[in-house]
Structure 1
Amino acid sequence: MAPLLAVIGAGGKTTALRCLLPHLTGQHVLLTTTTHIYPLAPPHTRLLLTDPTEPALLDALRVPGAVCAGRQAEDGKLSALPTALLEAARRTADLVLCEADGAHHLPLKLHRADEPVLPPQTDRCLIVAGLSAWGQPVAQAVHRYALHPRWAHDPVLPVGAEEILFCIHETAAACGLPPRQVRILLNQADTLLSAAQGAALAERLTAEGFSCRAGSLQQEADALAAWILAGISAKD
């Protein structure tokens, strides 16, 4: 069964998935979603399949390269494959990458009880949080901010270290996996100030037992991708 890496949170999930693909050349990779995702078509992937049959998807996965697949959804997005088809794909692929959350393009997120939508037997969960939230009002930076009672009462509260940590801790709890199966990426450390802020947060999260990095997927894609994939990029 192919290992499955799920990506949740906010502030760069799809970018993270796109950055992983060049590091998987020669492997049989399925890129999909349990929620909704804008499809990654060639040249980012080898092939894009919409509403594939099981024979078509499995045949595609027998050829090296990344296949992006899902069911047709609104606004040009893809939605989740049927569970049985995803399981069949895991028996054929070397690795499955799955976007398992949505954040309406905001850098942070809180979750309803039915979120995130991790596939069964997820091997690793990458939590992404966007440092661009720092200093913004929670109402403008946090998807579903009103799930936090104080933030609902004070939507102009500026995001700082404690607010970012709260979102990350809430996301880690929502995913339900032990820290050893979780990677936390503090993305959007694109300036000296945001890099310093991210490094301080990463130190705190590392002390809690998480594998955490602060960095920029725009500037450090290769190094961050290697860290995300370490130990999971080969079929068991």
Structure 2
Amino acid sequence: MHRFIDFFPLKKGQMTAFVGCGGKTSLIEGIITEAENFNLPVIHTTTTKIYPPKERKFILGSDIQELIEGIKSVGDSLVTAAYAIDSGESKLLGFPVKWFNTLLQEFPGYCMLIEADGCRGQSIKIYRENEPCLPPETDRVVILTGMDAFTCCRIEEKMHRYDLFQRFFPNKKFYTLQDRIDILFHSKGLITKIPKEIKKVLFLNKVTEATLEQARMIADLLLEKAAEQLDGVLIGNTFEKPMIYEYRK
């Protein structure tokens, strides 16, 4: 097994966004742990909503200067920052995307990890018009999808917002493996809706030793379909440490 940063070393001033389904939060937390082991300074935040971290403090700022001063006052190499707390869901709310450029200028010595999409624990989805919420300064996007999206009996079992999916795809009893791969490349799919100019890698999550060979086959089919749309496919499991079985490209 390998670390994420073995393939994608974190760089100061770099912004990486995480979108898709099936493990964004656990992947980000795993990368944060890897970064801490190398004393790499990280600002962790969101453009949507995330649960507060369990074992560290977070900074809130409903004004950009308030947020900047809050981050500076902590003085830690790891900061989770957000706009406010949603009292209903007890989640941290993301701040406006226009703030990111200012934060990059104020904190050039940090790398930024951004959760930029939501999926309510499912493994595949179709984007709405306003999704994903990516800052223009994003350097790389990591797209997650769960292995179970390709192996479950019925696609609706693992599809976030199945009603939206039905607007674009026929109501079939069974979707083949190729059908499921094609969903990611739909105009509103997890891969194709990301701007072409941004570097993209897909993380095939929830893979085990028992499903590794099948995951390799799926990764190769994804790369064949992707052409220039993907830099590669990471195969792994965010509940393992290290998290990555291999990187195929």
Normalised TM-score (structure 1) = 0.81
Q: Measure the CA separation in 2 of the matches of 1:23 and 1:195.
A: 23
Cα deviation 1:201-232 (Å, max 9, x = unaligned): 111223334211222122253547x97xxxxx
| Letter aligned with residue 112 of structure 1 | R
Structure in which a larger fraction of residues adopt helix: 1
Indicate conservation of the 8 Å contact 1:135/1:159, yes or no.
no
Task: Describe how 1:125-164 pairs up with structure 2 within 5 A.
Answer: 125-133=141-149, 134-146=151-163, 147-149=165-167, 151=169, 153-154=171-172, 157-158=173-174, 160-164=176-180
- Determine helix, strand or coil for the equivalent of 1:88: helix
Write out per-residue CA displacement over residues 51-99 of structure 1, whole angstroms, 9 at most, x where no aligned residue.
36234334057x3422111121231111111345433322205211111
Q: Secondary structure at the match of 1:174?
A: coil
After superposition, the Cα gap between the structure-2 partners of 1:60 and 1:15, relative to the gap in structure 1 and judged at 3 Å, is farther
Aligned to 2:78: 66
SS of 1:221 mapped into structure 2: coil
Distance 1:55 1:124, change over 3 A: closer
Matches within 5 A, 1:115-130: 115-130=131-146
Structure 2: distance between partners of 1:164 and 1:66 = 38
For the 8 Å contact 1:145–1:152, the answer to whether it is kept is: no
User: Unaligned 5+ residue runs, structure 1?
Assistant: 228-236
CA contact (8 A) 2:60 2:70 kept: no
Aligned residue number for residue 22 of structure 1 = 33
Aligned amino acid, residue 147 of structure 2: L
Match of 1:216 in 2: 237
TM-score, structure 2 as length reference: 0.77
Alpha-carbon separation, structure 2, partners of 1:130 and 1:67: 28
Q: Which residue of 2 aligns with 1:88?
A: 102
Q: Which runs of 5+ in 2 are unaligned?
A: 1-11
Query: Paired residue for 1:54?
Result: 67
> Structure 1 131/159 Cα, relative in aligned 2: closer, same or farther at 3 Å?
farther
Q: Partner of 1:77 in structure 2?
A: 91
For the aligned residue pairs, the C-alpha RMSD in angstroms reads: 2.6
